[in-house]
Amino acid sequence: MSNNLEYCLSMLEENDIKIQQSALKILCELCDNIIKYPEEDKYRRIRIGNPSITDKLLPASGAIECLFELGFIEDGEFFSLPKNSPLSQLQRGQKLLWELRNKVMSGTKGSTSTSGSSPASKSTGAKPKDLKQSNNFLQTITSTFQEALRYENKELQEYTKHFVPIDRLQLEAIKKMRAFQQQQQQQQQQQKRKKNPLGNSQSEDQINKNNSIECEPTIEDLLLSELVHWFKNEFFSWMNSPTCRFCSDACQFNRNEFRNDPRVSRVEIHKCKSCEAEEEFPRYTDPKILLTTRKGRCGEWANAFTLICRSLGYDTRIVYDKTDHVWSEVWSMSENRWIHVDPCEDVLDKPLLYERGWKKKLSYIIAYSRDEVQDVTWRYTRDPDVMKRRILTSESSLLSLILRLNEERFRSSGPEYSEARKKFVVKRRLMELAELLPAPPGTVKLGDGNNDNNEYGGRVSGDVAWRLARGELSETHEPYVWKMSSSESKKFILKYIITKDIYQICDETDKIINTKEGWSSGVNKCEGGIFRNTERDWKMVYLARSSGNEIGKVTWSIELPNEVDIELFELRAAVATFNNANIHWTIEGINNDNVIVLPVDDCKYYKTNQLQARKINVTVKLLGGTGDVSWQHAQLFRQSIDAAEDYSLQICITLKHTT
């Protein structure tokens, strides 16, 4: 515990001095109270929504991590210290916390006396007294690199293929390819009808040049997208805590046990809140077993998904983030680069998700494949302070290990590892190293997602309390406005399908003109920690506000061109409320300085011809409910997971052209 806690304390020192002081005060008080009153339950539990947590610990990088290292666990809506947690561990932690607190209060800068590394020395690596910590970290990299070979078992790959509905996924990929090609053809036809400033039609070559794109999607890339979506929504499921097999009530984590089973890292013991029966949750590391259990957390998800990708012939590697997350990367032959793939989130090519969306303070991110091990931290961060957090070993030691392991892998490769393959891997590695070099200020690197913060939301996998405890439920949001074109269309139709988490813009014939993925990507304003929740047991999906928020609020904005008026405005939306919860809709029309606000009496179908505006705001509020799960009682866009084609929201504006 000591080394890990020291690392967390070094993270804590990177915060502003006032944030450090507040967090250390709370952590010290928690330790003092428990040690003084070890049998008092009230001192062993603190609600996640308590201001001491939300206002003082969550804002401090490393504070929640310290709490976990002291032995606390996330228990529903509480952090709690189990009765069987040894007080000696807490006493050692108390001593380190008080040492740091006294140092901070006296104005002394630098890390704790036992950490062996100061912030100023972090970029140059660990000092001699950190040798054990450094060796442990480097040994973990070595063993994990060896474990990556388990995905190369040919018999296991053949076995894995039987679990994948490859024909269906390939058909969906082909449909997307055809839709993309049709869209390109339509754009070219529209371009042909345009005139240049001199009034002459553009040449065919010029039209093709204007419509060319750097990299068209391939069937392999589109199939990967379908594979991730299938894995997330049909194949694998997230496990927070098992239900009791005797009374079907919820269980909560109680302790870890370790078994003499190489297929399992540990066994979590969860205790029923009602009958106190115990349920086991084995944390399997064997990917073959995971194909049958089909449940777990990010480690299990990435493990099984990486195996599936390898069985389908994708060059794939598993990626470990030292701040506690795991995902995959897949080599794209069309783009000649590694693509970030997170099956837990159903996300591709958004490497800045964790730093910008989840607000993680990243340090080490290491990728492992059959060919090589690589430090890929720089793909996932744009934070110049990341070097201050890389204190587990020296940079030279890490680089030397990576070079040695890669050279050993090349030398030990069997006859099936051809010279052509070796040359390809070397060339690919050089391309990646060039990609990972820091970009000049103001430029956008590959995979930055156009550098649009709007694309990076908070974490969606795991229950709300767990994500909130980890500080990964983001409230950041960039406003988006739907802008209606000045075409001759008679209608503007905006649809949102929650089962696919996608927006569609349609014309009066219901022809899809444009699409946009992600519910938050099309929203102008969002308050109350709104998130997309999937209930696997009830097979339902909906938007809800986060726990602890009395009100959730979402606003969509639409701008109209000057040459059209509104003949009719229509709104349809699917909602569900329980236990005295409410969902209120309003329509706001803005025309220069004039504002009209219309209440919506029935969102199942609402229409008005009294709306004349250049901008429209459609706002919905989620409020009310009963008890600790009141957030769940107002469900926006509630739909069955099986209702794949049903729209959850439709805004239809019938237009009247004035010119």
**Tokens standing for residue 253:** 């984590």
Report whether 374 contacts 402 (CB < 8 A).
yes
Helix-helix angle 131-147:2-12, to 10 degrees = 100
Q: How confident is the model over 180-188, as a mean pLDDT? A: 77
Which pLDDT belongs to residue 402?
A: 94
Tell me the CB-side half-sphere exposure of residue 527, using CA atoms within 13 A: 12
Instruction: Determine which helix (DSSP H) or strand (DSSP E) holds 520, and give its type and residue range.
Output: none
Whether the per-residue pLDDT at 112 is higher than 60: the answer is: no
Active site residue 325: yes
How far apart are the C-alpha atoms of 269 and 280, rounded to whole Å? 5
Which pLDDT belongs to residue 459?
A: 62
Q: What are phi and psi of 641, to 5 degrees?
A: -60, -30
Grouping H, G, I as helix, E, B as strand and the rest as coil, residue 284 is strand
Tell me which residue of 57, 64, 67 sits closest to 93, measured CA to CA.
Answer: 67
Grouping H, G, I as helix, E, B as strand and the rest as coil, residue 95 is helix
**Tokens standing for residue 194:** 């345009």
* 58 Cβ contact list (under 8 Å, min separation 6): 64, 468, 471
Whether the per-residue pLDDT at 451 is higher than 60: the answer is: no
Which pLDDT belongs to residue 197?
A: 47
Which pLDDT belongs to residue 212?
A: 38
Report the share of the chain in percent with pLDDT over 90.
Answer: 38
Which pLDDT belongs to residue 81?
A: 87
Which pLDDT belongs to residue 192?
A: 67
Q: How confident is the model over 440-459, as a mean pLDDT? A: 52
Whether the per-residue pLDDT at 643 is higher than 90: the answer is: no
> Which stretch, 196-210, 467-481, 604-618, has highest mean pLDDT?
604-618
pLDDT, tens only, 492-507: 999 999 988 899 999 8
Which pLDDT belongs to residue 209?
A: 41
Q: How confident is the model over 17-44, as a mean pLDDT? A: 88
Q: Is the dihedral of CA 61, 64, 69, 74 positive or negative?
A: negative
* 263 Cβ contact list (under 8 Å, min separation 6): 284, 285, 286, 289
How far apart are the C-alpha atoms of 498 and 256, rounded to whole Å? 37
Whether the per-residue pLDDT at 374 is higher than 90: the answer is: yes
How far apart are the C-alpha atoms of 299 and 461, rounded to whole Å? 12
**Tokens standing for residue 258:** 């370790």
Tell me which residue of 617, 620, 600, 618 sits closest to 553, measured CA to CA.
Answer: 620
Which pLDDT belongs to residue 201?
A: 47
Strands 264-272 and 45-47: unpaired
The one catalytic residue among 251, 298, 344, 526: 298
Whether the per-residue pLDDT at 108 is higher than 70: the answer is: no
Lowest-pLDDT choice from 81-90, 362-371, 373-382: 81-90
Q: How confident is the model over 335-364, as a mean pLDDT? A: 90
pLDDT, greater one: 515 or 180: 515
Whether the per-residue pLDDT at 444 is higher than 60: the answer is: no
Q: Which residues of 503-517 are buried (b: 16+ CB within 10 A; e: fewer)?
A: bbbbeeeeeeeeeee
How far apart are the C-alpha atoms of 604 and 262, rounded to whole Å? 55
Grouping H, G, I as helix, E, B as strand and the rest as coil, residue 505 is strand
Whether the per-residue pLDDT at 111 is higher than 50: the answer is: no
The chain-wide mean pLDDT, for the chain, equals 82
Which pLDDT belongs to residue 125?
A: 44
Whether the per-residue pLDDT at 163 is higher than 80: the answer is: yes
Tell me which residue of 444, 391, 434 sits closest to 214, measured CA to CA.
Answer: 444
Q: How confident is the model over 292-306, as a mean pLDDT? A: 94
pLDDT, greater one: 361 or 115: 361
How far apart are the C-alpha atoms of 656 and 659, rounded to whole Å? 9
Which pLDDT belongs to residue 116?
A: 33
CA dihedral 359, 542, 75, 65 (to 10 degrees): -10
Give the number of residues written for the chain: 659
Which pLDDT belongs to residue 28?
A: 92
The one catalytic residue among 244, 272, 325, 371: 325
> Which stretch, 70-74, 130-134, 171-175, 618-622, has highest mean pLDDT?
618-622
The one catalytic residue among 75, 130, 315, 342: 342
**Tokens standing for residue 52:** 């001491």
Q: How confident is the model over 182-199, as a mean pLDDT? A: 65
Per residue, the 3-state secondary structure of 33-79, as one string, reads HHHHCCCCHHHCEEECCCHHHHHHHCCCCCHHHHHHHCCCEEECCEE
pTM of the model: 0.58
Which pLDDT belongs to residue 342?
A: 94
Lowest-pLDDT choice from 254-268, 337-351, 467-481, 547-561: 467-481
Whether the per-residue pLDDT at 208 is higher than 70: the answer is: no
Q: How confident is the model over 523-545, as a mean pLDDT? A: 82
